[in-house]
Amino acid sequence: MRRLDWDTAIEAGGWDARYAIVLAVATNGNAGAAIVDTNGDGADIDFDWYERVDGTWHPMSSFNISESGSAQHAGHTAMWGRGIAGESFKAEHEGKRDATTASDTGWWLAISESTCEPNASDQR
């Protein structure tokens, strides 16, 4: 079973590894997400949802994001933001708290189970 790491996010997301930089990755069960600087210059930051099926990560959706926000998909909610590398954050959704740490890039990402309807995709 393959972990969703930075290299896997680039490969599964179909990004060009010569330019794209993964800024943060998070998983919760078979749901995963990555924040990707698609061309390496900070001008286009995307959020990618992934689903693990039979041990392999598959892209589900991808969209441009701002420096903080949240999105829902298939029973999960993701929250993200920017801070100082190594700084701890507590993301809260539906009364659940997830502790996470900003990556070396300063981006943090957390995914929790949600009561949203399956296959719903709602960027906030």
Single pTM value for the model? 0.85
pLDDT score recorded for residue 120: 36
Q: Write out pLDDT tens, residues 51-76.
A: 999 999 999 999 999 999 999 988 89
3-state SS, residue 68: coil
Beta-sheet strand order (sheet of 76-82): 107-113, 76-82, 69-73, 121-123
pLDDT tens, 3-25?
Answer: 899 999 999 999 999 999 999 99
Calculate the average pLDDT of the chain. Answer: 87
pLDDT at 82 over 80: yes
pLDDT digits (tens, 9 = 90+) for 18-47: 999 999 999 999 999 999 999 999 999 999
